[in-house]
Structure 1
Amino acid sequence: MPEKSPTTRLTPTVTNRLHELDGLRVAVFGLLILYHTGMLYVADWGWHYKSQYQSEALANVMLWSNQWRMSLLFFISGAALAIFLSRHLSPDNSKLFGRSVSKRLGYLLLPLCFGMLVVVVPQVYIEAKSQHIMEELNYWQFWYAYLDQQSAEFEQHKTLGSMHLTWNHLWYLPYLIVYTLIMAMLYPLLSSKAMQPVWRWFSARITLTTIVLLPIAGFYLNGALLYANNPVTHNLVEDWFNHGRSFLSFVLGFALVQIPALWQSIKTIRWHLLIIGLLSYSYTLFAFHGGKLVSGMLGEGFIAQEVNGLLWSANSWLWILCVTAWGQYWFTHSRPIIRYLNSGIFCFYILHQTLIIVFAYWLTPLKLGGFFEPMAVIVLVALGCWCLFELIKKIPGLRIVFGINLRALNKPG
């Protein structure tokens, strides 16, 4: 594996736009839309709504990105935040820095609130109907009861303490808000003169091999210590395993992008990462289907379990690096289509799962079959996201609550 020792210090001085982040963001959100469509059809995996057509074989495809798709999204978000903060930190004007961070947090918070109050309601309604809950209510009555936090209908369905609001697929936004706030508060300290010797020492010693191997240990320890008693719930205040995985990914992206030599060297090992990633994915498939490779060699005890956990953790980080490496290789300059999609990616993200569930629910009586129904859902969701984006971006109030960034669309490459 080729190795480069970076000479650039780890300091918050990244100001150039990285085109690979724009391309990767679009690619990962696109993958997320396909993944959530797959959740309709994969057998034995619980979800808000399930199609009558389900496939056990689909789990093999879903498993490829199941472990790392959201971690990669947090990794990209951490890198983007580092660039944002480096552009807006002013040693002579802390108020300007505070306003910039507050504006960015508002950019996340408003879509979250609007999404919880409006966008996810059809999902909750269809999920309730499919489980024969509150069937006597039509959609408008259901929405009113959902908004009324004292409604008797939701008395047994509280989700946030005494409230019965939910963010469903929008859980990424509150987590990102918290992580952004943490790093923004730490950033003045991290970028201070007192920390510069630390970053110089760190950047002089860290290598590409370290970046490949060390995070695997972090993901492994997070799983070994937290997973058994803290499975993923998307409950912001109790989701400790998920926080450990997501925040570690966020910090890794935040740190790595600030060592340009190391960041750019990731693409030099893209073929190595692809081959090793395919091997680790092959192992996860083998283990998922009951394979006993590790226990066959080491028995069924503690050591075998921990080695198995280490291999699963390696699979996650290797694919994060692999996708990043190929993103750096492919997305080397600005493209109009990427700028267009990047300007509406939050809008697509906010809308997509509701559209998936609504279209699948509407198509159910047509009995299109296990091939044509998912194809119809994918096409309708893509068209729905695009048409609604084109409509919403023309309405200033809606544009804000759907997180549409027209500057990204109009900005020259």
Structure 2
Amino acid sequence: MSGRLYYVDWLRVIAFAILVVYHCSVAFFPDMSWLMKSAQGSEMLSLVMKFPRAWRLALLFFVSGMGTWFAFRSNAGLTFLRDRTTRLLVPLLFAMCVIIVPQVWFERVYEDGYDGSLMSFWLTRYFTEGKYPQGNFTWAHMWFVAYLLVMAFLCYPIFRLIIDPRMRRLTGWFESVARSNAIYLLFLLPLVLNVALSPIFPRQTNALYNDGAWFAVWASWFGLGFLVARHHHAVIEAIVDRRWLSASFALTLTVTLYRHSWAAGPDDAFMGDYDNMTVLYKAALFGLAWSMILTAVGFGALHLNRKSAALAWLNRKIFPLYIVHQTIIIAALFYVLPLEAGVAEKMSLVLLVTIGGSLALCLLFEQLPWPFRALVGLPEQPADAPAPEKSTVPLRY
């Protein structure tokens, strides 16, 4: 089978859907502080969401790494960096200066009792009171985009090296590992880097400059995605063949984490938890993330690698949806949290508003002329133009 790897697009859509559901639920976690917190909480909801929390970002960075290979292969020259800048930096700056502003305003009104208008907040306070959380200026959820941009530039020399024929011995070693059971040991890459850097960068901040230990983790998943895509023809068959083994590892680690961490009592939680990340806990967490990635790739390549009009429609809107979704969530929470209703009803309403509002904004964005489309992460090509089929290496299974 040859042609575009549609399953990668499906994984991107699925990963984003998980992200939206997770973000719509965080305000109701009694054991976590977020941008806006509900007075009503659900221990069960928090407990259930600890599972996707363990691997959702790893999957997003991995899929982004795969997509970066296809972009890099199309143009391995400096045009790649120019395209990454247009694709990532422009929406990042626009979101920080415009789209995220209502998100912070709603938070200040709800949490701090600010009584000024959105326009007044934007013009007089957002840019002038320092960086969030003490101030207001922030990239919020767009930290993910900022990290991808930095990774693209930092990894560019490595990308060039990987495609050099003189590196065939090293890339051949990766193919051999990825075709064997040793592939499951690759979670050690983010683990070792994180443990080594944690004494210097002890906290996860999403602020880049002081987040070295976790930047290394996200860059590891990103790099592994790039490598799997780069050597797709050589490794995908083995990943598909091991999909049930990958799922078994994921299930075992999930049960272990629930038993000895997430749902454990004080005497049984010896592994640590999200607030006390021991080396053992990180090993289980990264092992679960890698097993889930391999499970998703294995089953996705086998069952989802087919063309779909719905997929094409959704895939085009994923990036602008990501850009706007958290602002819609915070706005929905602002109006939904005061209602007389239970947690399930409130979360469901927030989810519906988020999906509907985000899609409505994306449909409006589609009407923008170029270059305004670049501000919200849309390509120059209009929605109704036929998209060229991207050539990829064949799937051999």
The TM-score range, normalised by the shorter chain, is: 0.7 to 0.9
Bigger mean CA deviation after superposition, 172-181 or 320-329: 320-329
**1:203-223: CA deviation from partner (whole Å, max 9, x where unpaired):** 35653311112x222233234
- Tell me which residue corresponds to 1:196: 168
Give the Cα–Cα distance (whole angstroms) in 2 for the partners of residues 197 and 309 of structure 1: 31
- Given the alignment of the two structures, is residue 23 of structure 1 paired with residue 35 of structure 2, yes or no? no
Q: Which runs of 5+ in 1 are unaligned?
A: 1-14, 90-96, 297-304
Structure 1 segment 10-159 matched on structure 2, within 5 A? 16-89=3-76, 97-132=77-112, 135-149=114-128, 154=129, 157-159=130-132
- Given the alignment of the two structures, is residue 217 of structure 1 paired with residue 188 of structure 2, yes or no? yes
Give the Cα–Cα distance (whole angstroms) in 2 for the partners of residues 382 and 142 of structure 1: 27
Give the Cα–Cα distance (whole angstroms) in 2 for the partners of residues 36 and 66 of structure 1: 10
- Given the alignment of the two structures, is residue 411 of structure 1 paired with residue 387 of structure 2, yes or no? yes
Q: Which amino acid in structure 1 is aligned with residue 354 of structure 2?
A: V
Q: Which runs of 5+ in 2 are unaligned?
A: 272-277, 390-397
Q: Which amino acid in structure 2 is aligned with residue 269 of structure 1?
A: R
Contact map agreement 2:66 2:228 (CA 8 A) in 1: yes
- Given the alignment of the two structures, is residue 381 of structure 1 paired with residue 354 of structure 2, yes or no? yes
Give the Cα–Cα distance (whole angstroms) in 2 for the partners of residues 173 and 402 of structure 1: 12
TM-score normalised by L of structure 2: 0.87
Give the Cα–Cα distance (whole angstroms) in 1 for the partners of residues 204 and 279 of structure 2: 20
Pairwise CA distance, 1:137: 2.3
Give the Cα–Cα distance (whole angstroms) in 2 for the partners of residues 347 and 257 of structure 1: 24
Pairwise CA distance, 1:74: 0.9
Structure 1 segment 256-335 matched on structure 2, within 5 A? 256-259=228-231, 260-286=233-259, 287-290=261-264, 306-335=279-308
Contact map agreement 2:195 2:213 (CA 8 A) in 1: no
Give the Cα–Cα distance (whole angstroms) in 2 for the partners of residues 398 and 311 of structure 1: 44
Bigger mean CA deviation after superposition, 30-39 or 226-235: 226-235
3-state SS of 1:257 partner? helix
Contact map agreement 1:342 1:408 (CA 8 A) in 2: no
**1:111-160: CA deviation from partner (whole Å, max 9, x where unpaired):** 10110011111111122223326x242221111124543xxxx2xx5349
Q: Which amino acid in structure 1 is aligned with residue 160 of structure 2?
A: P
Give the Cα–Cα distance (whole angstroms) in 2 for the partners of residues 312 and 365 of structure 1: 36
Pairwise CA distance, 1:412: 6.6
Q: Which amino acid in structure 2 is aligned with residue 172 of structure 1?
A: F
**1:296-350: CA deviation from partner (whole Å, max 9, x where unpaired):** 9xxxxxxxx6444422331221112222222222311111111100101011101
Change (3 A) 1:103 1:277: same
Q: Which amino acid in structure 2 is aligned with residue 117 of structure 1?
A: C
Percent identity of paired positions between Structure 1 and Structure 2? 26
- Given the alignment of the two structures, is residue 248 of structure 1 paired with residue 228 of structure 2, yes or no? no
Change (3 A) 1:182 1:223: closer
TM-score normalised by L of structure 1: 0.83
Give the Cα–Cα distance (whole angstroms) in 2 for the partners of residues 332 and 192 of structure 1: 29
- Tell me which residue corresponds to 1:232: 204
Contact map agreement 1:294 1:307 (CA 8 A) in 2: no
Change (3 A) 1:401 1:57: same
Bigger mean CA deviation after superposition, 234-243 or 287-296: 287-296
Q: Which amino acid in structure 2 is aligned with residue 174 of structure 1?
A: A
What value does the CA root-mean-square deviation take over the aligned residues? 2.6
- Tell me which residue corresponds to 2:275: none
Give the Cα–Cα distance (whole angstroms) in 2 for the partners of residues 20 and 405 of structure 1: 21
**1:181-202: CA deviation from partner (whole Å, max 9, x where unpaired):** 1222333333223223433455
Give the Cα–Cα distance (whole angstroms) in 2 for the partners of residues 240 and 186 of structure 1: 19
Pairwise CA distance, 1:109: 0.8
Give the Cα–Cα distance (whole angstroms) in 2 for the partners of residues 75 and 408 of structure 1: 28
Give the Cα–Cα distance (whole angstroms) in 2 for the partners of residues 323 and 104 of structure 1: 26
Contact map agreement 2:9 2:315 (CA 8 A) in 1: yes
Pairwise CA distance, 1:408: 9.4
Give the Cα–Cα distance (whole angstroms) in 2 for the partners of residues 275 and 139 of structure 1: 50
Pairwise CA distance, 1:284: 1.3
Contact map agreement 1:54 1:370 (CA 8 A) in 2: yes
Structure ID, larger Rg: 1
Contact map agreement 1:355 1:384 (CA 8 A) in 2: yes
Pairwise CA distance, 1:68: 1.6
- Count of residue correspondences: 376
Contact map agreement 2:87 2:377 (CA 8 A) in 1: yes
- Given the alignment of the two structures, is residue 177 of structure 1 paired with residue 156 of structure 2, yes or no? no
Give the Cα–Cα distance (whole angstroms) in 2 for the partners of residues 202 and 127 of structure 1: 47
Change (3 A) 1:319 1:204: closer
3-state SS of 2:337 partner? helix
Bigger mean CA deviation after superposition, 244-253 or 62-71: 62-71
Contact map agreement 1:53 1:370 (CA 8 A) in 2: yes
Change (3 A) 1:246 1:169: same
Change (3 A) 1:408 1:184: farther
Out of 376, 385, 388, which is 1:402 matched to? 376
Contact map agreement 1:35 1:62 (CA 8 A) in 2: yes
- Tell me which residue corresponds to 2:392: none
